[in-house]
Structure 1
Amino acid sequence: MDKISFPNLGLEFMVNKIAFSIFGIDIAWYAIIITFGIIVAMMISYRNAKAMKLDTNLFMDVFFYMIIFGIIGARIYYVVFNFDLYRDDLLSVFNLREGGIAIYGAIIFGALTVLIYTMVKKQKFLDYTDCIVPALAIAQAIGRWGNFVNQEAYGYETNSLFAMTIMENGKFVTVHPTFLYESVLNVVVFIILMIFFNKFRKNSGEVTYLYGIFYGIGRFFIEGMRTDSLYLGIFRISQIVSLILVIAGTVLFIYSRFYKKQIKNSPLS
């Protein structure tokens, strides 16, 4: 059991990374939390697809493939930018039980899976992603609590109101709980996207673009606090990807909301 506390809030928790064992195999809380997030995401995505009158059979097929390739992508992304950890033992790349996944890898590979599937099945890619991204946000919010159990994805030392005390290298340190910051960020993003999806969406892709904008902005600043970032040279990879999401999302949202409207109302439409 590990002790995790929030001293300035007067909170203290005793946490065990292992939930239970089956036939000698340990089942980690992290895996249970991630699985729960996926189930919640599936239910919300299905609800959104039904509201949009999409073919739910096709939609759930691609959701299944997206999960599989998203997990693979999350691992590939992490390994590529941490290859020195695996260079001398390439088989350890396949040992997911030791940890090492990255959400942006899951998003990139998941999006590519949906893109290929919708092209093959002649469906609208952006309608599918508009149904998925709100669910993705809440799944991320849930999944970050796996980081809490594992005492990972935290930031620099601080004595702020939400400071978290954990054991690091045999001593207690008080750090930014960046997992908590991102979980709260994703709950807010989820609420905004669901409201927009139900009341204000006009064109395909608008919910997807807003996800890129809001999540990208929040992740950019939270990533700057973390001590475990993946780097490309002197730059944090996640901050680079976040900037790309924000810029692309902003340009595409403006185009969708205003330029498309102008085309529709023009004499040439």
Structure 2
Amino acid sequence: MFIGTIQPLNPVAFELGPLTVYWYGLLIGLGALIGYLIANREAKKRGMPADMFADLLLFALPAAIVGARIYYVIFRWEQFAENPVRVFYIWEGGLAIHGGLIGALLTAYIYAKIKGLSFWKIADIAAPSIILGQAIGRWGNFVNQEVYGGEVSRSFLENLMLPDFIINQMYIQGAYHHPTFLYESVWNIIGFILLLWLRRVNLRRGELFISYAIWYSVGRFFIEGIRTDNLLIFDVIRTAQIVSIITVIGGIIILIYRRKTGLSASRYLDDGTTSKSNKQKRGKSKKKK
């Protein structure tokens, strides 16, 4: 492969008349859709109201996008100072996942309070969907040539057994770079599988979501150390690493506090089909006796 022939992928997925659809938005939307389908199916099993996640998504998704954009703009204002209208050009990239999570979680908390539902139960059900959506969404960053790390050689990327389309897309501004978008995507997929397994372990309420927060934050802390396009506090401290440390420590504290105070007495499967089936089995065994 001659370097001169390497061309970045087209960020435009397709055009319909005056409408231009970008891969970035398409992949984020795809992640949200798949996450919704998984969460909605699980919510029905756990005895939640029908279409609850459909209603919640109508509010949480816009809140997540707005939160993600505000968070990014706050720490990258120099990019928009001369032309503030570009703040609204989200198809060009620039959504911070931590801001998106804050927006979505606040919306879910308010929604749960209004509907008289358990926020922690909703969060537990949604946790695998969130991390899978993040894994898919990172590929939007890949198309936009964002979320990459320091310089590496082409041979380094080839030794990772990566296909050419990924290696070529990592050729940015005259050099090859770490595909940190891929590192995070793989980490999140592993986390998705782990959370599905933890569902069967039947953790106490809230602990599945806390496990997600800790898992994601640990991976993000180390991956952030490789990235070059960091959001910084005072132009020195990497924001995502600070948030990750706070999330891990805070998650452990909340987990211990909820156990000691009895706030997490209920378990994940208590209200679902598994608990019902177990009751039916126990009822049959009693009849046999």
Q: Deviations over 1:232-263 (max 9, x none)?
A: 02111111111111111122233445663999
Using the TM superposition, give the Cα deviation of residue 30 of structure 1 relative to its aligned residue in structure 2, in angstroms.
Answer: 1.6
2:128–2:192 CA contact under 8 A, matched in 1: yes
1:158 pairs, out of 152, 161, 164, with 152
Instruction: Tell which structure's C-alpha radius of gyration is larger.
Output: 2
Partner of 1:250: 252
| 1:221 corresponds to 2:219 | no
Partner of 1:240: 242
Unaligned stretches of 5+ residues in structure 2: 267-289
Work out the number of aligned pairs and report it: 252
1:181 pairs, out of 180, 183, 188, with 183
Partner of 2:55: 61
Please give the residue correspondences for 1:38-187 in structure 2 after superposition, counting only pairs within 5 Å. Answer: 38-159=32-153, 160=156, 161-162=159-160, 164-165=167-168, 166-169=170-173, 171=174, 173-187=175-189
2:68–2:98 CA contact under 8 A, matched in 1: yes
Structure 2 counterpart SS, 1:53: coil
Paired with 2:179 and 2:171, the residues of 1 have a C-alpha distance of 13
Unaligned stretches of 5+ residues in structure 1: 6-11, 265-269
Q: Deviations over 1:169-223 (max 9, x none)?
A: 3x2x1211100000000001111111112x1233221111101111000000001
Q: Which has the higher strand share?
A: 1
- TM-score normalised to structure 2 length: 0.80
Paired with 1:153 and 1:121, the residues of 2 have a C-alpha distance of 38
Structure 1 letter corresponding to 2:82: D
Structure 2 counterpart SS, 1:151: coil
- Say what the alpha-carbon RMSD is for the aligned residues: 2.4
Structure 1 letter corresponding to 2:172: E
Structure 1 letter corresponding to 2:22: A
Q: Deviations over 1:16-45 (max 9, x none)?
A: 222211114332122221111111000011
| 1:28 corresponds to 2:29 | no
- The alpha-carbon distance between structure 1 residues 92 and 126, as it changes in their structure 2 partners (threshold 3 A), is same
1:34–1:143 CA contact under 8 A, matched in 2: yes
Structure 1 counterpart SS, 2:202: coil
Paired with 2:264 and 2:11, the residues of 1 have a C-alpha distance of 55
1:230–1:238 CA contact under 8 A, matched in 2: yes
Partner of 1:206: 207
